[in-house]
Structure 1
């Protein structure tokens, strides 16, 4: 499902908050996002509430 967002700008919401950036990797149990400032963030799939394209 998330493979369709690969290399696109997205927003991901979790219980801890939301983050936006380019989806760079989809693993078996995580996604990796590059935020606009260059920070790489790994989010466990089980923590994601929703994903939307920006």
Structure 2
């Protein structure tokens, strides 16, 4: 465990830092899936709004 001793004998603990990595841009397949998920989400919200308006 990483720690340092400060004045007066107190211990100061440090969290273990995670390994850093570079994010990669989405592939064409992932971009296509994001578009389909967005369209599905918009359709769901539009349907819920239609139902809410028609019920009230």
TM-score (norm 2): 0.25
Tell me which protein shows more strand as a share of its residues: 1
**Could you say which structure has the larger radius of gyration?**
2
TM-score (norm 1): 0.25
